[in-house]
């Protein structure tokens, strides 16, 4: 899953679970939200590591392919932005649940 769009698709597939299903129970035919989120974090970390390695190679003269490094940096940036938006939505949802009266 090296593409941020695939990352978003994998996270949205988890939404098929029943609303009252426990958090540890995976969706029918799918993965649990926790496992998808952890895989997404690993993927974003991998993309950022690749971008950093590309920049290091460019700076040290081991590579002269600026376009490839720029593409890797942009891909890592988009993946990170997507991850931050997911985090923001989760925090907003948590705050909303906290404000519910029982």
Domain that holds residue 84: 4-11+31-99
* pTM for the full predicted model: 0.66
Predicted local confidence at residue 30, as pLDDT: 84
Give the number of domains in the chain.
1
Cα(8)–Cα(83) distance, integer angstroms: 9
Mean per-residue pLDDT of the chain? 82
Dihedral (CA of 37, 39, 42, 47) sign: negative
Mean pLDDT of 3-13: 54
Q: pLDDT tens for residues 22-34? A: 555 665 778 888 8
Per-residue tokens: 2? 């090296």
Q: Is residue 16 part of a domain?
A: no
Does residue 15 surpass a pLDDT of 90? no
Q: Is residue 78 part of a domain?
A: yes
Phi, psi for residue 101 in degrees, rounded to 5 = -95, 140
Q: Is residue 71 part of a domain?
A: yes
């Amino acid at each position: 899953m090296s593409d941020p769009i695939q990352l978003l698709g994998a996270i949205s597939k988890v939404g098929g679970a029943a609303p009252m299903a426990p958090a540890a129970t995976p969706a029918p035919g799918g993965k649990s939200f926790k496992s998808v989120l952890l895989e997404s974090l690993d993927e974003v970390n991998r993309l950022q590591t690749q971008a950093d390695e590309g920049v290091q190679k460019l700076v040290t003269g081991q590579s002269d392919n600026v376009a490839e490094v720029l593409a890797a940096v942009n891909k890592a940036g988009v993946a990170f932005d997507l991850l931050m938006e997911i985090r923001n939505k989760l925090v907003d949802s948590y705050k909303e649940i906290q404000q519910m009266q029982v």
